[in-house]
Amino acid sequence: MAPGRPPSPHRILAIDDDPISLSISAILLESDGWTVLQASCGREALDLLADPSQAPDCILADLRMSGLAGSELARNLRQAVPGVTLFAITATPPPAVDGYDAVLAKPLAVEALRAALARRSSAASSPLDDADGAIDSSVFDRLARAMSPDALHQVVTVFLQDVASRLALMRGADPSTIRREAHTIKGGAAMIGARHIACAAAAVESGIDQNGELFRKLDEIGAHCRRVEDILLQRLKV
């Protein structure tokens, strides 16, 4: 086995409604030492996982499939295989998607998959860091110098709770309300240095016409909030 390949037996489930993409991904993964299971849609994947003997170590799911896909699919997959490493794959990957451990670019590069797995392994065995730039340290450190850890913890908590309530409101709101709420989230995120939340909120504020795209972007903001909470509370040692 070549250096850097996963140890055998390492099993991965690839889910994609494009048969050509699915076949090519399977060939690449098998050549890299994986045992590959395949499913052409989310429902087929869940049917396969109903058999506990088929449980994979990792799942790679196309993000833009028809039918069950995206964050809803992630929730179902995690119920079927608790603790599984779950990656989304798409031609235009956002920084994060709710429910997935990472988002990889399509077409699949096995080197990128190995790197994502290595980051997951490293994160599990070491304190959280901010290698992806989710936090603007200069902004956060300035706040940390200006107030006590307890006060800053309260600020972060109130901000995250406020974002959660605004995201819930935006899912059923008119375009004007959505833009207004996104603008407020963007401003609050900038104040505490939550760079990715601010960027995603700015995209929503600029206007997203398709409901599917809007909901995916709101899910993305939610995922960023969980990442920010982990990083900031780690820094605050709370």
| Contact in structure between 48 and 37 (CB atoms under 8 Å) | yes
What's residue 132's pLDDT?
A: 60
Residues of the chain with CATH 1.20.120: 137-236
At the topology level of CATH, where does 137-236 sit?
Answer: Four Helix Bundle (Hemerythrin (Met), subunit A) (1.20.120)
pLDDT per residue over 133-180, tens digit each? 778 877 888 888 888 888 888 888 899 999 999 999 999 899 899 999
Which range has the worst mean pLDDT, 34-38, 123-127, 202-206, 223-227? Answer: 123-127
Q: Average pLDDT of 113-130?
A: 66
User: Within 13 Å and on the Cβ side, how many CA atoms surround 224?
Assistant: 27
Handedness of CA 69, 74, 78, 79 (dihedral sign): negative
Which range has the worst mean pLDDT, 21-25, 91-95, 196-200, 201-205? Answer: 91-95
Tokens 């409901």 appear where?
Answer: 211
Residue 34 CB partners (closer than 8 Å, separation 6+): 6, 10, 11, 12
Task: Kindly report the CATH class assigned to 11-125.
Answer: alpha beta
The DSSP output letter for 63 is T
Q: How far is CA 94 from the centre of its chain?
A: 8
C-alpha to C-alpha distance for 211 and 175, rounded to whole angstroms = 10
Residues of the chain with CATH 3.40.50.2300: 11-125
Residue 49 CB partners (closer than 8 Å, separation 6+): 13, 55, 77, 80, 81
Q: Average pLDDT of 88-113?
A: 86
Tokens standing for 137? 């340290």
